[in-house]
Amino acid sequence: MTTNTIDWTGAWNGRLSKKDERRHDSRCGQLATHLYKEIDSNKLPFINLPYREELEKELLKHSPWLQSFEHMLLLGIGGSALGTRALQRAFYPEQDMPNHTGKHLWISDNVDAGTIEEWLTRLPAEKTVVVVISKSGGTIETIAQYFIAREWLKQHLGDTWADHIMLITDAQNGYLREEVNRLGARSMPVPDNLGGRYSVLSAVGLVPAAFLGINWKALLDGAMSVGNCLCERECGERTMQDHPAWKIASWAKTLMEEDYNILLFFTYIPAWASFGDWFAQLWAESLGKEGKGSTPLPAKGVTDQHSTQQLYLGGPRDKGCLYLTCPNQPEGMTFADDLPEKWSYLRGEKFGTLLQAETLGSRMAFGQTETPLVEIRVGETTETEAGRLIALLEIATVLTGWLLEINPLNQPHVELGKRLANARLGATGYDEESKQLEHFLGREPDIQEF
């Protein structure tokens, strides 16, 4: 059996020292109690997954229908898409390979008129299921895409078009729920108190996972194994202190206190690189409030050793690093025995040994520049381990938010941008935002050609 580990050897480099390891432990007991109360009142459902039984039943019911399609067009943005893309690239990489003839997942996560028009021109409607994801049922970018896709389905399928959609939204409220009731369309709920960036292990991420044949039960098993001990009433100060999510949160808070304002997420598992983008939203949207937080910056090994790592190692000393590795990755093809003498050390070696050498070399370089670094090492690149990683980072993010004394579950400034966009489009009920837009657009321009 493989083991997942966290290596703290380089965590306390630079302006940090080993004595900082327990800097925030005085708050541990209080936050352990708070955590249990929040879990018990169903405010943190991504930790104990109280919706799991119903989710599994619904996924099993819908799976034969999902499997009947060759293409899935997923309409969603932010947390409705980033986790799904990470799962697809990690566990269904064949979609991106030459001459792939299996299922295809197309994720429309932006306002990109050219791309969606091309997709709808090329996709066979009769072989395509459209999955629309919005917890509120009113996300303007997603709803606008739905209107376009709905018309496309009607044109190609006539009265049967609604048999090709699934709406994933709030169980009771919102426009998409109204559409479910009006059309009798298939749907699955986003559980209460489950924000988008924490929702990948719900229908949001697992419906497309089921479509692709990814082992979604293993994802759930892995996640629950990380959070289980925190869900017990007996979870106290000692349990919390020993939990890796607490240690990451305490370390991250200490980094911010010592002016390390950027947190690198350096992934040395190529197939898992998109988890960096998922983590960036999780961290930024949860913690960037009230002038607090740190900037998450995804990086991919080995690629970014030849681009941005120059800045990481030689630039301002304002970065800590979460370093994701796995010692058991594909070894790949063997180098031939007739390589030029200059590269004779590669003769007979596996191509994958290069990745392991680069992983070690980069980590040592961070150490030599005294960059605080925590290595998260997964034993295997399976769905179980991915579930464990997702849960670990979600819990650590929440605890970091509480240490910062902010709410890690809301996103007020995201909502501000949405309100201003709606006002610009002429939606009603945005009088104050309309005044702000009038002032903004009425400024004297200062424009230079280039």
Residues labelled catalytic: 285, 306, 418
Q: Is 428 exposed, middle or buried (0-12, 13-18, 19+ CB in 10 A)?
A: exposed
DSSP lists the bridge partners of residue 170 as 190
Q: What is the rounded distance in angstroms from the CA atom of residue 204 to the CA atom of residue 210?
A: 11
Whether the CB-CB separation of 120 and 164 falls below 8 Å is answered with no
Other residues' Cβ atoms within 10 Å of the Cβ of residue 359: 24
- HSE at residue 339, side-chain half, CA atoms within 13 A, is 12
Q: Residues 230-252, buried b or exposed e (16+ Cβ, 10 A)?
A: bbeeebebebbbebbbbbbbbbb
Nearest one of 275, 372, 366 to 312, comparing CA atoms: 366
Q: What is the rounded distance in angstroms from the CA atom of residue 253 to the CA atom of residue 372?
A: 13
Query: What tokens does 144 get?
Result: 């606008």
Other residues' Cβ atoms within 10 Å of the Cβ of residue 443: 7
Whether the CB-CB separation of 317 and 428 falls below 8 Å is answered with no
Q: What are all long-range contacts of 357-366, with beta carbons under 8 Å and residues at least 24 apart?
A: 358/268, 358/301, 358/302, 358/305, 359/268, 359/301, 359/325, 362/266, 362/268, 362/301, 362/302, 362/305, 362/309, 363/10, 363/323, 363/325, 365/309, 365/313, 366/10, 366/312, 366/313, 366/321, 366/323
Q: Which helix (H) or strand (E) holds 421?
A: helix 412-424
- HSE at residue 424, side-chain half, CA atoms within 13 A, is 12
Q: Which helix (H) or strand (E) holds 321?
A: strand 319-325
Q: What is the rounded distance in angstroms from the CA atom of residue 129 to the CA atom of residue 165?
A: 6
Q: What are all long-range contacts of 352-356, with beta carbons under 8 Å and residues at least 24 apart?
A: 354/302, 355/268, 355/270, 355/301, 355/302, 355/329, 356/327, 356/329
Antiparallel, parallel or unpaired: β 5-7 and 373-377 = antiparallel
- What letter represents residue 15's amino acid? R
Other residues' Cβ atoms within 10 Å of the Cβ of residue 168: 29
- What letter represents residue 327's amino acid? P
